[in-house]
Homo-oligomer: A and B are copies of this chain.
Amino acid sequence: MSGTSTGKTNAGNFFEDFTVGQVIEHATPRTITEGDRALYQALYPTRFALPSSKEFAQQVGLTEHPVEELIGFHIAFGKTVPDVSLNAVANLGYAECRFHQPVVPGDTLRTSSEVIGLKQNSNGKTGVVHVRSTATNQRGEVAIDWCRWVMVNKRDVEAPAPETFVPDLKSVVAPEDLIIPAGLDFTGYDFTAAGETFRFGDYEVGEKIDHVDGVTLTDPEHMLATRLWQNTAKVHFNVQARTDGNRLIYGGHIISLARALSFNGLANAQLIAAINAGAHVAPAYADRTIYAWSEVLDKAETAAPGVGAMRLRLVATRGRDESMILRGDDGKYADGVLLDLDYWVLIPV
């Protein structure tokens, strides 16, 4: 045995390792702390008052001080990588992501995934795996769940194709399916502390908002973030993992950056309730400068006092695009678009 590797390391799953109905319990439960909140503040230019201030959270009815929803999402997501997407060619999409309750320091998240769809590609070399992942806390309660589908390499191109099954996922989480955090009450909302006066009624469907500011990416920053989420995808950390010698930036880093930039114009979009869909349109690398714009896609009432729901498209671009054009005449994403995220926020009416 001496002198040879003994196959104890994780090579990840390949397409033929998945079966519909299979449930994978992912490793490494993770306790969230105030350290995560501070690092998130250092990594992204976020200024939303609720995750920034314990008092603001209490004033809107939350007894504990939640961290940003995306902290929970990135941590829960990161756990799925070694089992689901270590051999992925591409992360194709998200759907039906709901935040069931705020994540607070002291919570411990673990994640499991159920394989809900499989479709081998016609080239026989890859296939699409659909999973529904569920993050639960230390009380066994659901904190976040979501679906995603990824294109995964086959280990053996000769392996037989599984029966094709493509799940029927909702293109949008219905407003009545949004989960409002227990106790949330925006009737006494402090707009001055929050930083802007615009409320639910001030936004119109179709309206676009150019968030103005840009941030130039660096390698150390995205690596710090991605490690914090215990995401192990090699391409983010190792210049030898790709032929071009670049570190590919974790798509979630761009989501968090764009969400933070969206404060300027959407300061009262305090909580993310759901993610309907998301596409990482183009890769991002260090030294590019990222901007963001948003479009109001829909609006809905909720049962919580003073709380409205607004469906937004959040677009991250490489370089500023004041025209805010998502797609060209050919229907393809415009040059420079990196992220197209469709999500629901909670905002005072």
Chain A interface size range: 35 or more
As for how many copies of this chain the complex holds, the number is 3
Tell me which of B54, B108, B230 contacts A31 (CB under 8 A). B54
When distances are taken between beta carbons in the complex, the residues of chain B under 8 Å from A218 are 219-220, 223
**A residues 34-53 in Cβ contact with B at 8 Å:** 34-39, 41-49, 52-53
Interchain nearest-CB distance for A344 vs B (Å)? 19
**Residue contact A10 to B41, C-beta cutoff 8 Å:** no
Contact (A53, B37) CB under 8 Å given A9-B265, A220-B220, A230-B47: no
Q: Is A215 an interface residue (CB 8 A)?
A: yes
Interface residue A114 (Cβ < 8 Å from any Cβ of B): no
Inter-chain CA distance A52–B31, complex, in Å, is 6
Whether A38 pairs with B228 at a CB distance below 8 angstroms is yes
With A49-B28, A238-B289 in contact, do A210 and B54 touch (Cβ < 8 Å)? no
On whether A8 and B223 interact (CB within 8 A), knowing A27-B47, A28-B193, A33-B37, the answer reads: no
Q: Is A208 part of the binding interface, using a Cβ–Cβ cutoff of 8 Å?
A: yes
Q: How near does chain B come to A238, taking the closest CB pair, in angstroms?
A: 4
Binds B, one of A89-97, A145-153, A157-165, A194-202: A194-202
Task: Kindly list chain B residues whose C-beta atoms are within 8 Å of the C-beta of A206.
Answer: 1-2
Collect the chain B residues with CB atoms within 8 Å of residue A322's CB.
Answer: 5
Considering the complex, which residues of chain A in the window 10-42 have a beta carbon less than 8 Å from any beta carbon of chain B?
A: 10, 25, 27-31, 33-39, 41-42
Decide yes or no whether A271 CB sits under 8 A from chain B. no
Show the binding face of A for B, using Cβ within 8 Å: 1-6, 8-10, 25, 27-31, 33-39, 41-49, 52-56, 65, 82, 105-106, 108, 110, 138, 192-196, 198, 202, 204, 206-216, 218-221, 223-225, 227-228, 230, 232, 234, 237-241, 247, 264-267, 287, 289, 293, 319-320, 322-324
Residue pairs across A and B with Cβ atoms less than 8 A apart, 15 shown, are A6-B209, A8-B266, A9-B209, A9-B210, A31-B54, A33-B37, A34-B35, A34-B38, A35-B35, A42-B225, A213-B234, A213-B238, A214-B241, A224-B224, A239-B287
